[in-house]
């Protein structure tokens, strides 16, 4: 397993925990929600570099995607 793949695995594990805690859903439901997301696809695309970010940063992107139905760049 490459270093990139390991980082993705660690982030994925954290994301599933965050979803379970915030949405009060089972692990299976959290995994399904994450795996179907555009954020997860971007996380697994090495070219985006998203796997280099913190799990909380990636989770914020996921929450924004869930709120808007797509990944949205929020204005600062």
pLDDT in tens, the chain (76 residues): 999 999 999 999 999 999 999 999 999 999 999 999 999 999 999 999 999 999 999 999 999 999 999 988 766 5
Q: Which pTM was predicted?
A: 0.92
Give the whole-angstrom CA distance, residue 8 versus residue 63.
Answer: 18
Secondary structure in 3-state letters for 35-58:
HCCHHHHHHCCHHHCHHHCCHHHH
Nearest to 4 by CA among 49, 69, 63: 49
Residue 73: the pLDDT is 74
CB neighbour list of residue 68: distance below 8 Å, 6 or more residues apart: none
pLDDT of residue 76: 58
Return the residue matching tokens 């697994």: 44
Separation between Cα atoms, residue 37 and residue 2, nearest integer Å: 23
Dihedral pair phi/psi, residue 24, rounded to 5°: 55, 50
């Amino acid at each position: 397993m490459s270093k990139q793949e390991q980082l993705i695995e660690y982030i994925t594990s954290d994301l599933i925990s965050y979803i379970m805690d915030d949405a009060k859903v089972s692990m299976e439901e959290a995994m399904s929600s994450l795996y179907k997301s555009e954020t997860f696809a971007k996380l697994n695309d090495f070219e985006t570099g998203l796997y280099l970010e913190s799990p909380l940063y990636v989770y914020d992107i996921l929450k924004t995607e869930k709120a808007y139905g797509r990944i949205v760049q929020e204005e600062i």
